[in-house]
Amino acid sequence: MRRQRFSRSLGLVGRIFGILLLTVLLEFVVGTLIYERASHLSLQDDEARRLAEHLVIARKLVAKAPVSQRGGVSAQLTTDRYDIHWTLAAPPPPPLSPELARMRQQIVDWEPSLHESRLWLRLNSPGRSSQINGGLQLADGSWLYFGMHHSGGKWAFTFGRFGLALIPVLALLIAGGVLIRRTLAPLRDLTHATKRIGLAQQVAVAEAGTNDVRNLIRAFNAMQTRIHRLINERTETLAAVGHDMRTPLARLQLRLEAVDDPEIREAMGEDLAEMGEMIESVLAFLGGEKNPEPAVRIDLAVTIATVVDAFQDHGDDVIYDGPDHLEMEVRPLSLRRAVRNLIENALHYGVRARVSVARHDNEVLIRVDDDGPGIPRDRLEEVLKPFHRLDTARQRNTRGMGLGLAIVAKTVEQEGGRLTLANRPEGGLRVEICLYLNRPEAKV
């Protein structure tokens, strides 16, 4: 599961770069190991040759010197790399490892005169810093001991080569990453345009990149044109229908004054008002993703308190609890409509509504509580669907078309917020709108 999440989070650029990285690293490791093996063999042969030359010279000089001066001569032959000592004692030669046996054979091959000198080698202090010690016998039976410092060891030498070889590899990876990013830049533009499709104005993506990417962008632009044309046609149709339906409603409202019976006039007035509300709800919900209302900075607390005051002026039992001022960036008309729908629902299914506003760090919570019967838990998600009613019998006292909460959900989504419904333990329903002060996911 973690592997799948990590793979999805990489994205196309990350996957291509990972493939490039893996390929380059495999080629680098294999190539470096092969080269290092060949270099190590070559280095061993070179060290054997230099040691052979130094031993031949040291043996000749020490052998020619008087016995009393051989210690001083051997000291003079000592360098930072080679230690030379002369002694009469002769320790038994140790068994040779395969690698030292190979080096001894290389020394003898370079200087055959050392073959009869009982040359032996021994490796001391294996690890990060190693030293090859050995000895050879002079013609008079005395022994010449030597030591060759071999600092760093094979692996240290290998890691040094790794470090040097990594420089061009890193340069290649950086150049490859830049080229991959530039190659996939049209896809990034396409991704950004996809997020805005159906919102505000059409954003045409410039055709660039490879033929496949160009064909994809061309098809996307054609699809985007069709979608925006359908949205515009629907919006214009709804606007025309709304205008044509408001006109006869207005005429009926005028003719209503001619009805003498007050009870009939009042009932017809309520029906006309409900029809007007239904038209407004349909137009608000079916207006499409294209929302011309811009987000502006307002005093949210004052705005919601004003909506509550309007209900109180009509004699409804609505109470506001929250700060006096709270500024944030929202679409004021849409948010007022959403809060108004929630209060109307609360009053319809209960007798009172409690509206509260609170801020918690980056979150602003708008809650509307009622004392109605609540909603069955298994149907809390259903009521957010458009044209959905809990009152399936469509009783006469059920107003609207089932779009109130759907409009609220759409408004909250456009604001980049979160809408939750929950039954209160003490009874009734709580509807909570959570908005964010910096609007991270708000749709524009």
Give the CATH number, domain containing residue 402. 3.30.565.10
Report yes or no on 287 lying in a domain: no
Report yes or no on 251 lying in a domain: no
Domain boundary among 113, 128, 157: 157
Residues near 177 by Cβ (< 8 Å), separated by ≥ 6? 17, 20
> Does the structure show a pLDDT above 60 at 155?
no
For the entire predicted model, the pTM comes to 0.48
Domain span including residue 388: 292-436
Residues in the chain: 444
Q: In terms of DSSP bridges, do strands 120-124 and 353-360 run parallel, antiparallel, or are they unpaired? A: unpaired
Which of 25-29, 238-242, 323-327 is most confident? 323-327
Report yes or no on 14 lying in a domain: yes
Q: What is the pLDDT of residue 325?
A: 92
Quick one: pLDDT band at residue 42, thresholds 50, 70, 90?
Answer: very low
CB 146 within 8 A of CB 83: yes
Which of 24-38, 85-99, 345-359, 405-419 is most confident? 345-359
Tell me how many domains the chain contains.
2
CB 333 within 8 A of CB 354: no
Domain boundary among 112, 139, 157: 157
Domain boundary among 119, 134, 157: 157
Q: What is the pLDDT of residue 270?
A: 76
Report yes or no on 125 lying in a domain: yes
Report yes or no on 7 lying in a domain: yes
Q: What is the pLDDT of residue 45?
A: 66
Mean pLDDT across 423-432: 89
pLDDT tens profile 180-196: 777 777 777 777 777 76
Report yes or no on 63 lying in a domain: yes
Distance CA 322, CA 104 (A): 93
Report yes or no on 209 lying in a domain: no
Percentage of residues in the chain with pLDDT exceeding 90? 12
* CB-count burial class (<10 Å; 0-12, 13-18, 19+) for 331: buried
pLDDT tens profile 374-414: 888 888 777 777 666 665 433 434 455 566 788 888 888 88
What does the mean pLDDT of the chain come to? 75
Q: Which has more pLDDT, 156 or 367?
A: 367
Distance CA 266, CA 248 (A): 18
- SS in 3 state form for 221-274? HHHHHHHHHHHHHHHHHHHHHHHHHHHHHHHHHHHHHHCCCHHHHHHHHHHHHH
> Does the structure show a pLDDT above 80 at 233?
no
Least confident of 137-141, 261-265, 305-309: 261-265
Q: What is the pLDDT of residue 400?
A: 53
Report yes or no on 377 lying in a domain: yes
> And the tokens for 142?
């005395």
